[in-house]
Structure 1
């Protein structure tokens, strides 16, 4: 009986050491994406693009700042160097004394709200 328990323990220990400690370890997948938004009505103007080879990520994003400049952040990230970004600005900051017309929205075309 003791011999059978000892053999069973050796088999169990051998199987558990043969299994990987982290069973959920997916292989890195390369990917890329990009998007851009430009809405003249609201003034929104920004975009982002990113590429990965499965180990390192490279990309950039940009946005129009309230002072009129375009801010661009270009970055590289990996498990060894971490996140490294470079920020650049295009244009010159503008601070006008007068602002444009207020943004107005169309009135409700469905009539007055009804409460029941």
Structure 2
């Protein structure tokens, strides 16, 4: 019974606080707004130009059984990168690329080939005869 008496005041507050459907909404004047004055951004793009770090590396793979043969070597003195790479081509030649790269000259490459291209002999198409004579149809 005590619970009923406590519930009645809460229900009264909820009913009195609800908007009435026949009342118009009240809007006040908009708050005054002053746009900030424009200032040029003081942002300066960072410079990522860092001195180069010298390095050198090389690797090579040669597998006569599979016919794989390639390699690469490269070095950098902090300013200019130079090196070469080679690869065995399917036509039997070896392609060698020797290169240099720097900020002043960009990427400069010289491509050379060792060997002569060989292509397998092409034979005209000839259908194969059946292995056991003429096939039998049921």
TM-score with structure 1 length normalisation? Answer: 0.61
RMSD: 2.2
**CA offset digits 1:28-48 (Å, max 9, x no partner):** 110000000112232211000
What's the counterpart of residue 87 of structure 1?
111
- List gaps (5 residues or longer) in structure 2: 1-41, 123-138
What's the counterpart of residue 28 of structure 1?
52
Q: Larger Cα Rg: Structure 1 or Structure 2? A: 2
User: Taking CA–CA contacts closer than 8 Å with sequence separation of 6 or more, which of the two structures ends up with the larger relative contact order?
Assistant: 1
- Please point out which of 32, 38, 45 is paired with 2:69: 45
User: Would you tell me which structure has more strand in proportion to its own residues?
Assistant: 1
**Matched positions, count:** 80
Q: Which SS does the other structure have where 1:27 is aligned?
A: coil
Distance in 1, Cα, partners of 2:64 & 2:76: 32
